[in-house]
C-alpha cells in the first residue's frame, strides 16, 4: 500500500518500468546491499583460502601424493601424479627400464604397457603389484597375454601368430568338401577374420587403459629398430591352442 502511494507521488517512477526497484531504494537499503555484497566476497575469499590450505596440507601430509586427502577414485585432474605426468611430457622407457616398475619397489609407481604405450596403474597396486592376479602385466608390455589369456607364458608384445587362436583346425574329412582352390580362398578369408579379431581384442584393452579414470598414460616403450625380427617365433600357448575347433562343415553339407 505504502509503496504504491509513494510511486504515485513520484512521476519518474512510472516512466521507468525497467528499473522500478532501484528507484525505490532508500540510502539505507543501498548501504545494506553494499554490506551484503562485501560479506559474500569475504566469504568467498575465506572459502577459497580454506580450500587451498586444505590442498596444501593434504599435499604435505601425504608426502606429495594427494591434494585431496587420499580420496579414492578421484578424477584424474585432482591427482598429483597425473599433473606431474602432464607437465613432464611422455616418458620413454626401454623394456629393461620398464621392468623396474613392476610393483616390487613400493616407492615406485606400478606401470604396465600395452602395444607400446605405458600406463600408470598404481591405483590398482593390489591387483598389478606383487601377489596380485595381474602382476604378470606389471613392468612389461604383455600385449600378447592380454589376447591369448596365457598370462605367465605370454609376457611379450610379440603378436606374431596370435591369430592362429581364431583359425579353425584343419580336418581332412571336413575339408574334403571343398576343392583345393576353394579351400585356399576359404583359408584366406578365415585368416583376415582372425587377424581382425586379434586387433579387436587388443584394441579392447588398449581402450580400457586409455579411457580409464583410474589409470593414466605416462609414455611409450622405446625399442631398437627391428627388435621383433630378432625375436624367435613363438608357438601359440597351450590354453589358446586348446580353444581351437575344427572347421565347420559346408552349409547343408553339399559338395
Ligand X SMILES: *[C@@H]1O[C@H](CO)[C@@H](O)[C@H](O)[C@H]1NC(C)=O
Cell 619397489, residue located: 105
Binders in 119-178 for ligand X, by CB under 6 A: none
The 8 Å CB, 24+ separation contacts for 183-187 are none
Candidate segments 90-98, 131-139, 186-194, 197-205, binder of ligand X by CB under 6 A: 197-205
Candidate segments 12-20, 47-55, 67-75, 201-209, binder of ligand X by CB under 6 A: 201-209
**According to CB under 6 A, which one of 206, 218, 221, 240 is a site residue for ligand X?**
206
C-beta of 220: minimal distance to ligand X in Å? 9
C-beta of 235: minimal distance to ligand X in Å? 22
Specify the residue, 138 or 206, whose C-beta has the smaller distance to ligand X: 206
- For residue 132 the three cell numbers come to 596380485
Specify the residue, 115 or 177, whose C-beta has the smaller distance to ligand X: 115
* Nearest residue to 149 via CA among 131, 137, 132, 139: 137
Neighbours of 51 (CB within 10 A): 11
How many residues sit close enough to ligand X to count as binding (CB under 6 A)?
6
- How far, in Å, are 96, 153, 193, 226 from residue 129 at the CA level? 18, 18, 35, 31
d(CA 156, CA 227): 12
- How far, in Å, are 22, 28, 53, 160, 208 from residue 40 at the CA level? 21, 19, 20, 65, 44
> What SS3 class is residue 120?
strand
**According to CB under 6 A, which one of 62, 76, 99, 115 is a site residue for ligand X?**
115
C-beta of 203: minimal distance to ligand X in Å? 4
Q: Does 95 bind ligand X (CB under 6 A)?
A: no
Specify the residue, 125 or 197, whose C-beta has the smaller distance to ligand X: 197
**According to CB under 6 A, which one of 116, 149, 161, 168 is a site residue for ligand X?**
116
The CA dihedral of 12, 15, 21, 23, to the nearest 10 degrees, is -20
Q: Does 222 bind ligand X (CB under 6 A)?
A: no
DSSP 8-state class, residue 233: P
Specify the residue, 104 or 199, whose C-beta has the smaller distance to ligand X: 199
C-beta of 45: minimal distance to ligand X in Å? 48
d(CA 192, CA 205): 21
In residues, how long is the chain?
A: 255
Q: Does 199 bind ligand X (CB under 6 A)?
A: yes
**According to CB under 6 A, which one of 25, 126, 203, 246 is a site residue for ligand X?**
203
Residue ranges binding ligand X (CB under 6 A): 115-116, 199, 202-203, 206
Amino acid at each position: 500500500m505504502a509503496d504504491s502511494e509513494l510511486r504515485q507521488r513520484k512521476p519518474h517512477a512510472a516512466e521507468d518500468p525497467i528499473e522500478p526497484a532501484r528507484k525505490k531504494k532508500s540510502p539505507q537499503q543501498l548501504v545494506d546491499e553494499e554490506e551484503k555484497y562485501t560479506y559474500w566476497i569475504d566469504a568467498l575469499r575465506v572459502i577459497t583460502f580454506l580450500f587451498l590450505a586444505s590442498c596444501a596440507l593434504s599435499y604435505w601430509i601425504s608426502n606429495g601424493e594427494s591434494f585431496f586427502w587420499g580420496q579414492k577414485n578421484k578424477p584424474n585432474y585432482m591427482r598429483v601424479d597425473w599433473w606431474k605426468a602432464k607437465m613432464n611430457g611422455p616418458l620413454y622407457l626401454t623394456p629393461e627400464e620398464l621392468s623396474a616398475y613392476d610393483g616390487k619397489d613400493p616407492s615406485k609407481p606400478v606401470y604396465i604397457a600395452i602395444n607400446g604405450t605405458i600406463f600408470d596403474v598404481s591405483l590398482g597396486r593390489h591387483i598389478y603389484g606383487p601377489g596380485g592376479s595381474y602382476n604378470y602385466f606389471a613392468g612389461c608390455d604383455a600385449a600378447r597375454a592380454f589376447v591369448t589369456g596365457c598370462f605367465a607364458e605370454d609376457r611379450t608384445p610379440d603378436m606374431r601368430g596370435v591369430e592362429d587362436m581364431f583359425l579353425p583346425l584343419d580336418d581332412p574329412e571336413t575339408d574334403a568338401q571343398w576343392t583345393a582352390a576353394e579351400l585356399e580362398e576359404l583359408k584366406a578369408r578365415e585368416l583376415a577374420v582372425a587377424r581382425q579379431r586379434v586387433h579387436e581384442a587388443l584394441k579392447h584393452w588398449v581402450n580400457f587403459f586409455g579411457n580409464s579414470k583410474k589409470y593414466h598414460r605416462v609414455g611409450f616403450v622405446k625399442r631398437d629398430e627391428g627388435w621383433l625380427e630378432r625375436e624367435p617365433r613363438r608357438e601359440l600357448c597351450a590354453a589358446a591352442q586348446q580353444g581351437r575347433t575344427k572347421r565347420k562343415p559346408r552349409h547343408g553339407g553339399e559338395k
